[in-house]
Structure 1
């Protein structure tokens, strides 16, 4: 009898060796050596500009980009967003509170959080073959999510002047989703607090057709902030400043959806008080349960305040951890000059080993663990809408 598993293992091993060799042969792409016409010619040949740290940019084919994903190398596809962070330079700098102070306002919302809806929503969300941003399944899953978010608002009887839900169109078919609570103070209409997650998933070997339930990456973050959004809607949350919940398309393609939205906000001159990303909130590894707080490539002051939110509102401690450059959508906002922070399921080295495969399933996750991150999303939104204008550094 043929041992097919041995062949598969051998194929993966050989592929990995080839990936290492191919990566080492890549050359850094220095934009200063090319004029605009030369760059356009290269991009028209199907190449992409891929940034893997603050200084290194590579010119890569689609397959070479996928090879980065297979090697777990984080990256941003900056092909269409070269001006991100360069357009709107008059951004305000916010000074965050020393301690959380709105426990009485926040407690009822946290008390209404439940894992029941999270489980129900994640079971449906992982039933799509995949949620890849360029597949038909990714479009279908996004449409389902849009209807779910819209349904929460519709069932609450809240009026459109208070809450809106819209799809944000990209040049690919899967849309991002933005739900917005309007602020009650017209003078603060341009100052927004953002809570985000990404809705897409990927099978790193067969992106378009492969099974990629993406239960943890990032189905967990998606339903985490969906539950936070639900209790705020149903609890008649009426903020002074706008609060937005974002579900980004195409994070796995190089933070494409969040880069597009951040670049639009920058171009329009919007002020973002703070942005919190939720990416992978459901897996508990071998180390003691905690909230992983990313401390590299984030806003340090906002991150310091986020850790105080964990202490105040979560029932588990925080742990400082690093995830590297461009490891999730917060990086798009940080690059645009907006303060961002990122929470993950625990220490990064102890995070879910099944992501980007067919085995990223609900069975590996804890909904009680996810609920801790819903608490943080609620408290983040409410605490930060109360920043006074005297708390502006510039």
Structure 2
């Protein structure tokens, strides 16, 4: 109520001051409860299998503020259609980890200072909203960091996967002996759900934390000589998706492309929010890795539990997040085995996300290091796994 009165007073003052007309009109619209940045364009979203509706951007954000997740399928209506016309062979994952002697020395090379440095710059962008110029700038900066990592190792390639909204996704590829592919993903965009085009969205946890976690895992994976020489059985890709917050737009575009090309993706892991532990510890619960168990591949998820038990120094806890809750859902829809891990039991996850308060100061980099250990261990194990 107090905020509304202040806005009304500010709008009245704007009329008597030398404030440019467009800005004055925007202030007056906000004061009257309107969103001056809203557009009439409508998007087709899917809230559950077969449950679709047309909405505006503002209606999207209202749903998100209400805790609803969805696919925006406006431009990806064919994602998953080929899977409906053919039976998908079940991918068999290892029962136990097999490369402990190779992975354990690599774990010692993971460095939270690297993650802190990258995240400090990444959160300095006013927002990483996918339709903003800041979103495009942050994506260009991230592409450069990935490119520097690959160049220093002398192996692999990285490219933008372009999107019409301006912020492009990023794909880094480490070739193996086959085109069977293992994907490690995070999303690079952030959002302030109240006024996405205007308000700050540092997005430290969501998903700056996942972004720098998998970047650090990539850096250390490239220390291994067998990876450098291309002796892994499978190709490994690291993805940083654009526009996750808009309805999994970037990941849908990529996996629709992979599906149409017949790409052989054996596994996909999403790291979305890896740094917040305060609520867990306040509740008297042990610090743990949250392993999502709904809308995921059970075989891959079981193996991830083994990886956590082997390579992390904290336990896992099973939890659920609902339909279309992060980019792994796009891989699943395309028929690829996918999994998702998060910072905690879902009920204790960060509530500051999607606001100006999603800042680095609230994150636990030791916990992020645990997620990096998981990412590195899984990437290595599956890079050398012999899939049928």
The bucket for the TM-score relative to the shorter chain is 0.7 to 0.9
Aligned to 1:219: 208
Q: What CA deviation, in whole Å up to 9, does each residue of 1:102-137 have, x standing for no partner?
A: 101111221110101000000000000000000010
Match of 1:52 among 33, 47, 55: 47
Counterpart-to-counterpart distance in 2, 1:66 and 1:288: 33
Residue 149 of structure 1 aligns to a residue whose secondary structure is: helix
The yes-or-no answer on 1:257 pairing with 2:250 is: yes
**Whole-Å Cα distance in 2 between the matches of residues 6 and 246 of structure 1?**
45
Aligned partner of 2:384 in structure 1 is 386
Q: Name the CA shift for 1:7/1:344 in 2 (closer, same or farther; >3 Å).
A: farther
The answer for the alignment partner of 1:235 in structure 2 is 224
- 3-state secondary structure, aligned to 1:207: coil
Deviations 1:144-171 (A, max 9, x none): 0000000111223x1xxx4001111011
Superposed CA RMSD: 2.0
1:123 aligned partner: 120
Equivalent of 1:266, from 259, 267, 286? 259
Question: How many aligned residue pairs are there?
Answer: 348
CA–CA distance in structure 2, aligned partners of residues 251 and 353 of structure 1: 18
TM-superposition CA deviations, 1:248-276 (whole Å, max 9, x none): 00000000000000000000001111000
1:240 shift after superposition: 2.2
Deviation for aligned residue 1:235? 3.4
2:238 aligned partner: 245
Mapped to 2, the partners of 1:109 and 1:75 lie a distance apart of 37
Residue aligning to 1:63: 58
Equivalent residue in structure 1 for 2:91, among 90, 94, 109: 94
* 2:312 counterpart (314, 325, 334): 314
Q: CA deviation at 1:386?
A: 2.6
Given that 2:221 and 2:380 are in contact with CA atoms closer than 8 Å, whether structure 1 keeps it comes out as no
CA shift digits 1:32-52 (9 cap, x unpaired): xxxxxxxxxxxxx72211111
Mind listing any 5+ residue stretches in structure 2 that lack a counterpart? 8-29, 34-39
Query: In structure 1, which of residues 297, 301, 304 is the aligned counterpart of residue 302 of structure 2?
Result: 304
**Alignment partner of 2:323 out of 325, 331, 345:** 325
Residue in 2 aligned with 1:31?
Answer: none
Q: Secondary structure at the match of 1:297?
A: coil
Equivalent in 179, 196, 207 of residue 185 of structure 2? 196
CA change 1:47–1:4 in 2 (3 A) is closer
Match of residue 85, structure 1, among 73, 80, 83: 80
Query: Quick one: distance in 2 between partners of 1:102 and 1:54?
Result: 39
State the distance in 2 between where 1:5 and 1:379 align: 51
1:343-382 map, 5 Å: 343-382=341-380
Secondary structure class of the residue paired with 1:52: strand
TM superposition score normalised by structure 1:
0.85
Q: What TM-score do the two structures reach when normalised by structure 2? A: 0.86
Q: What are the superposed Cα offsets for residues 64-103 of structure 1, whole Å, 9 maximum, x if unpaired?
A: 1111111121111011111111136465421111111110
Q: Which runs of 5+ in 1 are unaligned?
A: 9-14, 19-44
Would you say the 8 A contact 1:135–1:209 is kept in 2?
no
CA distance in 2, matches of 1:92, 1:279: 27
**Alignment partner of 2:350: what SS?**
coil
Partner of 1:110: 107
SS in 2 for 1:174: coil
Shift of the 221–53 alpha-carbon distance from structure 1 to 2, 3 Å rule, reads: same
Give deviations 1:309-360, integer Å, cap 9, x for gaps: 1111100000000000000000000111100000000000100010000000
Distance 2:294 2:2 in 1: 44
Once the two structures are TM-superposed, the CA of residue 283 in structure 1 deviates from its matched residue by 0.1
Distance (Å, rounded) in 2 between the aligned partners of 1:48 and 1:300: 32
Q: 2:270 aligns with which of 273, 277, 281?
A: 277
